[in-house]
Amino acid sequence: MAESPGAALLEQLRRDARAASEQSTAAVRAEALRLRNASDERLAQLRTAELAARARAHAAALDRARSDARTRTAREWLAARADALDRVFVAAHETLAARSGEPRFLAAVAGIAHDALAYLPPGDASARCAAPLAQAVRTVFESQASDRPGLRVIEDDAITTGVVLETADRSLVIDATFARRLSRERARLAIEVARQLESAGS
């Protein structure tokens, strides 16, 4: 018995519908796969960006820590150098004070008082020094500045390491003390102490 035209048409419609459905399903699956891949790629990009940001933040924190450590080390090193210099000068002043009555020290003070006279202009002036040094300074003035009656020696126990000469109007003050000479040596001693600290730390 031959198939009716209506049945054949219906069967063709069914086949077309199945084909269309399969094509649509395939298209939907392909789009879903594409979206999933795109989502995975976007997530991977986000993860990469997040890791990069964390790495940058970590690097910045590390740089700050290193900079802080360098600053702290430099500060501690400078403090150690200053402390060492202070100890050197305290010891030097104590040594000068302990020897202030020795003949060699008195002779040295007399020598620097003699040298300082050359820079003192004519006119009234004074020389201040501690009492134990006064006689040595007077002796120098009596022998080297006998023509200057206006030159007086004033005992000042605050000046224990030499003599300070000054004109009457104080327009000129000559600090001829070993303490002053020591202070001028501070820059050179700072370099020497720095070298010793570096050697000790290496």
Question: How is the beta sheet containing 162-167 ordered, strand by strand?
Answer: 151-155, 125-129, 162-167, 173-177
How many residues appear in the chain? 202
Average pLDDT, the chain: 79
Note down the domain range covering 171: 99-184
pLDDT given for residue 174 in this prediction: 93
Q: Which has more confidence, 70 or 27?
A: 70
Do residue 115 and residue 178 come from a single domain? yes
Q: Are residues 8 and 52 in the same domain?
A: yes
**CA 70/CA 83 separation, integer angstroms:** 20
Gyration radius from the chain CA atoms = 48
Average the pLDDT over each of 11-15, 65-69, 96-100 and give the range with the smallest value: 11-15
Q: What is the DSSP letter of 160?
A: -
Determine the Cα–Cα distance for residues 138 and 54; give it in Å rounded to an integer.
79
Regarding whether 57 and 110 lie in a shared domain, the answer is: no
The model's pTM? 0.53
For residue 88, what are its two tokens? 């050197």
The residue among 85 and 143 whose pLDDT is bigger is: 143
| Residue 139 located in a structural domain | yes
- Rounded Cα distance, 178 and 180, in Å: 5
pLDDT at residue 23 above 90?
no
Same-domain status, 62 and 132:
no
Q: Which residue has the higher pLDDT, 151 or 197?
A: 151
Q: How many helices (H) and strands (E) does the chain have?
A: 5, 4
pLDDT digit string, tens, across residues 39-53? 777 777 777 777 777
Q: How confident is the model at residue 17 (pLDDT cuts 50, 70, 90)?
A: low
Specify if 84 maps to a domain: no
Tell me, what's the pLDDT at 5? 61
Residue with tokens 């001829």: 176
DSSP-derived letter for residue 23 is H
* 3-class state of residue 86 by DSSP: helix
Do 175 and 134 share a structural domain? yes
pLDDT at 142 over 80: yes
| Contact in structure between 137 and 129 (CB atoms under 8 Å) | yes
Specify if 180 maps to a domain.
Answer: yes
pLDDT for 2: 54
Domains held by the chain: number: 2
Cβ neighbours of 77 (radius 10 Å)? 14
Residue 112: inside a domain: yes
